[in-house]
């Protein structure tokens, strides 16, 4: 699934083109996404100007004067710029057409979403999909103290607490495994057993992992491509533990172990990562 680095990389790509331009046409080729796209949406947006391209968690927010378009890439989707005359591919569901630019939402598994939030419905931050999201990892409000306050009274494993997104958003399955490895914390450790000093290490590891992923343009997993159609390169080159079960730990040589937590694969080093 595209995580925060992939979605932010996509946002940066579309933000260099869309803002200030008038959307000449929104074409819905297949409305059958996670929630059906309403027939009225192309008419609502036709001829309106894009004000900004933002992100909240894994949601892209394309702002217009009269509302905000919420776009989610689903499990394996991408939003990419294509030539004006490029043919459609199978699973190209929605296209945004401007005077000199065209973008396509490609979503083979149809778990993505394109939702309209009109301005009269209130602030976009109050939308049900966004209201319960945790703090953004690069927000100044996300501090070691904030992370500790969010986990210190929970018996749930730290990996599951990170994935829940209530304390901090964007630390999905891949990046959680990598962050916990960098911090030297066993993913099965209950949040309540992580001390303030170890929590500070985890906070630093989360920022370092996500920063490195952003610099490399995300992950190539599940055919992710950015807004220019270019695959990410991060985990192809730099993953220390993710999908490396049985391979030696880069630090101590202990074989990497794979377990399942909450129906998601977790990878860690039994030698380096302590409970």
58 labelled catalytic: yes
Q: What gap in Å lies between CA 135 and CA 139, rounded to an integer?
A: 7
Of 45, 51, 57, whose CA–CA distance to 134 is shortest?
A: 57
Are residues 145 and 152 in contact, defined by beta-carbon separation less than 8 angstroms?
no
Q: Which of 11, 55, 56, 58 is the catalytic position?
A: 58
Q: Which of 3, 6, 8, 178 is catalytic?
A: 3
Q: How far apart, in Å, are the Cα atoms of 195 and each of 150, 160, 200, 264?
A: 12, 17, 9, 25
- DSSP 8-state class, residue 88: P
> Per this entry, what is the length of the chain?
275
User: CA-CA distance, 181 to 204, in Å (whole number)?
Assistant: 12
Rounded Cα–Cα distance for residues 191 and 184 (Å): 14
Q: Which residues of 36-51 are buried (b: 16+ CB within 10 A; e: fewer)?
A: ebeeebeeebeeeebe
Active site residue 2: yes
CB atoms within 10 A of CB 238: 14
Rounded-to-integer distance, Cα 173 and Cα 194, Å: 20
* Catalytic, out of 34, 110, 188, 264: 264
Instruction: Tell me if residue 64 falls in helix, strand or coil.
Output: strand
- Considering the candidates 2, 5, 137, 187, report the single residue annotated as catalytic: 2
What residues are labeled active site?
A: 2-3, 58, 264
């Amino acid at each position: 699934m595209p995580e925060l680095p992939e979605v932010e990389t996509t946002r940066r790509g579309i933000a260099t083109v869309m803002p200030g331009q008038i959307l000449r046409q929104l074409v819905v080729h297949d409305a059958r996404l996670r929630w059906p796209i309403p027939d009225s949406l192309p008419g609502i947006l036709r001829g309106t100007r894009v004000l900004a391209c933002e992100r909240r968690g894994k949601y892209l927010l394309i702002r217009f004067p009269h509302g905000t378009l919420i776009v989610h890439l689903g499990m394996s989707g991408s939003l990419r710029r294509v030539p004006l005359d490029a043919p459609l591919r199978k699973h190209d569901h929605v296209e945004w057409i401007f005077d000199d630019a065209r973008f396509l939402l490609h979503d083979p598994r149809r778990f993505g979403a394109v939702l309209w939030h009109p301005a009269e419905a209130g602030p976009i931050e109050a939308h049900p999909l966004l209201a319960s999201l945790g703090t953004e990892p690069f927000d100044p409000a996300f501090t070691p103290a904030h992370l500790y306050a969010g986990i210190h009274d929970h018996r749930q494993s730290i990996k599951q607490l990170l994935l829940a997104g209530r304390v901090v958003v964007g630390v999905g399955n891949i990046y959680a495994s990598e962050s916990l490895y960098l911090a030297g914390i066993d993913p099965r450790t209950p949040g309540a057993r992580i001390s303030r000093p170890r929590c500070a290490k985890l906070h630093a590891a989360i920022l370092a992992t996500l920063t490195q992923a952003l610099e490399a343009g995300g992950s190539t997993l599940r055919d992710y491509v950015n807004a220019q159609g270019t695959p990410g390169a991060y985990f192809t080159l730099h993953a220390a533990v993710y999908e490396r079960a049985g391979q030696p730990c880069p630090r101590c040589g202990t074989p990497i172990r794979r377990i399942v937590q909450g129906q998601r694969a977790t990878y860690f080093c039994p030698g380096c990562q302590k409970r």
